[in-house]
Amino acid sequence: MLEETFGDTVKKLREDRKLPLREVAEALKIDTSMLGKIEKNSRKPTKHIIGKFATFFEVSDKDLTIAFLSDAVAFRVMEEEDFSSEVFKVAEEKVKYLKTKKLLDK
């Protein structure tokens, strides 16, 4: 699951099963071109589509979601000069902090 983009991941799942884009797209009820773009990371799948991928390919929805989200944040951070390790480290602390805070607010 590591080291590739989300697009690479789903493309590999499809190719392992020797299916053309058209067939998978039909199964997921999305446009073939859309699927092609998702595999090329030029369109983002919705949460719903990620769920369909998981069901169709019989893989973990959670793992696919992690693959997708990590892509999103990786690309976001790479747009800027690279402070990525620091950014992720601080971000993780923020998430922890903000979650606790949210709980306390109740």
Partner DNA sequence: TTGCTTTGGACTAATTTTGTCCAAAGATAG
Partner DNA sequence: CTATCTTTGGACAAAATTAGTCCAAAGCAA
We find the least distance from the C-beta atom of residue 70 to DNA, in angstroms, to be 16
- Is residue 30 close enough to count as binding DNA by CB under 7 A? yes
- Is residue 51 close enough to count as binding DNA by CB under 7 A? no
18: left (phi over 0), alpha (psi -120 to 50) or beta: left
Return the range that interacts with DNA (CB under 7 A); candidates 42-50, 60-68, 81-89, 93-101.
42-50
Q: Does residue 84 contact residue 78 with C-beta atoms inside 8 Å?
A: yes
- Is residue 4 close enough to count as binding DNA by CB under 7 A? no
- Is residue 39 close enough to count as binding DNA by CB under 7 A? yes
- Is residue 27 close enough to count as binding DNA by CB under 7 A? no
| CA–CA separation, 83 and 77 (whole Å) | 8
**Alpha helix stretches (DSSP H) within 29-83:** 32-39, 47-57, 61-78
Q: Does residue 17 contact residue 57 with C-beta atoms inside 8 Å?
A: yes
Residues that bind DNA (CB under 7 A): 20-23, 30-34, 36-37, 39-40, 43-44, 46
